Structure 1
Amino acid sequence: MLAPRTVLLALTVACGALADTPAASDVPGYFLNMLMWNGEASERYHGSPLVPAVLAAASSTVAATACPAPFFPVMSQCFWTSTSYKLSWDDARSFCQQMGGDLAEPLYLTALMVHLQNHYPAGKEFHLGASDLEKEGNWTYLSGRPVDPRGWMAGEPNDPAHDQNCLNFCFQGCRASYPPLNDQYCHREKNFVCEFFVA
């Protein structure tokens, strides 16, 4: 018999794949944080009005996200990860574009971390599609969406020389495992995450 925690995690991920509204898709994020993290790391979810979100999720009838191979679904997004070789941020972006996507802009950092930890348990660092190259200290994704400041590791971003300008997603090898965001040198060759943007 499966443990209740395992069942709840499976239902949470399945719910995320079916959700198509911001309120509905926040429900899996809430439960993933409750399952994975304690204290301040999940505090932002505790104040969410869950009942309307649960009702919205329950009424959702859309199909799960369909990702073209070799991309895989995480919640409502499609990702592909490079783990066998490493590239600079610029080269990683070019690689992702040649796959028909771009460097990833994850909406749900916890959900992506769960997937990466399940498939790549060794310590990893991944380039993501955000930087402050246009304006120092103004961290935005390639789409223009701002990076959520609650996603940074404690003490990050820390860039006194103004030369750590690319976003790095890091776990199980960094100073902290959650939150996972870190500012990194763009020229450093790292693994990376590509995203295929579903219309």
Structure 2
Amino acid sequence: MLPGVMLLIELVIMTDANHGIMWHPRQVSPESPTTGSSATLNVYSEINCAMKAAETEWSHMYTYKDNTCTLYKDESNLGDATIPCKTRNEPMCSAPFKEVGGLYCVYANTTRLSWIDARLFCSTLGHGADLLVTQSFSALQIYLQPYSYDEVWMGVRYRRWLDGKSVDSDHWKSGQPDGEMPLCGRMVYDNAYSSHLLHETLCSEPHTFLCQHNGNKKGWRRW
């Protein structure tokens, strides 16, 4: 039988067996099995795992690997991740955004725009999207590490994030911020630290940028 036909049959069986419950593919962090799991079962296939999860009222998520089915009570560890899982809830992020641990929903745009134009572009994507503001600077550095982006606009202006919080002094590149002119913030790769740090520059300069939303359709509260 053709692989595509087999996949279709499996999906039909899974949907019927789960009494109409739709399981959405996500990813879960490696720490989740010790922080959010509630039951571990030995089953013969993922269909059996999905059936057990559907029959268990408190189970909102499951993982399946090598005949081991792990049921979870919540989804608190989604996002920072390498382990495939399935959840009852639809993904928080839809294209072009991707869910990133510690950063919510992120979209990296390689078009070079001014800070103002980049922010306007983000707003056209819906969900209250804006230039990226982070509560976890290390998560932002990790996210940027594999990319070739050297100068990336952030939601930083007048030395504050767009949520009104001042930029921490250790998040600036050496010698920054400099001058008194109100400028905009971009992430620049620092060879001395092998990581990205913030650097002020004229808001009119064209750079790539990161858009972000938090999965809340009402959007962010920004100043």
Return 5+ residue gaps in structure 1 as ranges: 1-9, 19-59, 133-138
Whether the 8 Å contact between 1:153 and 1:178 is mirrored in structure 2 is: no
Count of residue pairs the alignment pairs up: 135
Contact 1:164/1:184 (<8 A) preserved: no
Aligned-residue offset at 1:163: 3.4
Tell me the amino acid that sits aligned with residue 197 of structure 1. Answer: N
Aligned to 1:11: 30
2-structure distance, mates of 1:175, 1:125: 16
CA distance in 1, matches of 2:172, 2:113: 22
2:203 paired residue number: 186
Note if contact 2:145-2:196 (Cα within 8 Å) is conserved in structure 1. Answer: no
**CA contact under 8 A between 1:92 and 1:192: conserved in structure 2?**
yes
Q: Secondary structure at the match of 2:178?
A: coil
Contact 2:115 2:203 in 1 (8 A): yes
CA RMSD of aligned residues (A): 2.8
Amino acid at match of 1:80: Y
Q: How does 1:62-77 map to 2 (within 5 A)?
A: 62-63=75-76, 64-65=78-79, 66-76=92-102, 77=104
Deviation at 1:157, TM superposition (A): 0.6
- Counterparts of 1:113 and 1:179 in 2: how far apart (Å)? 6
In the alignment, which of 103, 106, 111 is matched to residue 79 of structure 1?
106
Task: Give the TM-score taking structure 1 as reference length.
Answer: 0.58
1:136-174 Cα shifts (integer Å, max 9, x gaps): xxx212221222222111211112xx33610111116x7
Which aligned pairs between 1:1-199 and structure 2 lie closer than 5 A?
Answer: 11=30, 61-63=74-76, 64-65=78-79, 66-76=92-102, 77-83=104-110, 85-100=111-126, 101-118=129-146, 120=147, 122-132=148-158, 139-159=159-179, 162-163=180-181, 165-171=183-189, 177-178=194-195, 180-199=197-216
Rounded to whole Å, the distance in 2 between the matches of 1:95 and 1:175 is 33
Point out where structure 2 has 5 or more consecutive residues left out of the alignment.
1-28, 37-72, 80-91, 217-223
Secondary structure at the residue paired with 1:113?
A: helix
How far does residue 116 in structure 1 lie from its aligned partner after superposition?
Answer: 2.3
Q: CA deviation at 1:176?
A: 5.4
| Structure in which a larger fraction of residues adopt strand | 2
Which structure's CA Rg is the greater one? 2
Residue 145 of structure 2 aligns to a residue in which SS? Answer: helix
Q: Which has the higher contact order (CA 8 A, sep 6+)?
A: 1
* CA–CA distance in structure 2, aligned partners of residues 141 and 106 of structure 1: 8
Bigger drift between 183-192 and 74-83 goes to: 74-83
SS in 2 for 1:130: strand
Q: Which amino acid aligns with 1:154?
A: S
Instruction: State the AA in 2 paired with 1:62.
Output: E
TM-score (structure 2 length as normaliser): 0.53
The answer to whether the 8 Å contact 1:124/1:170 transfers is yes
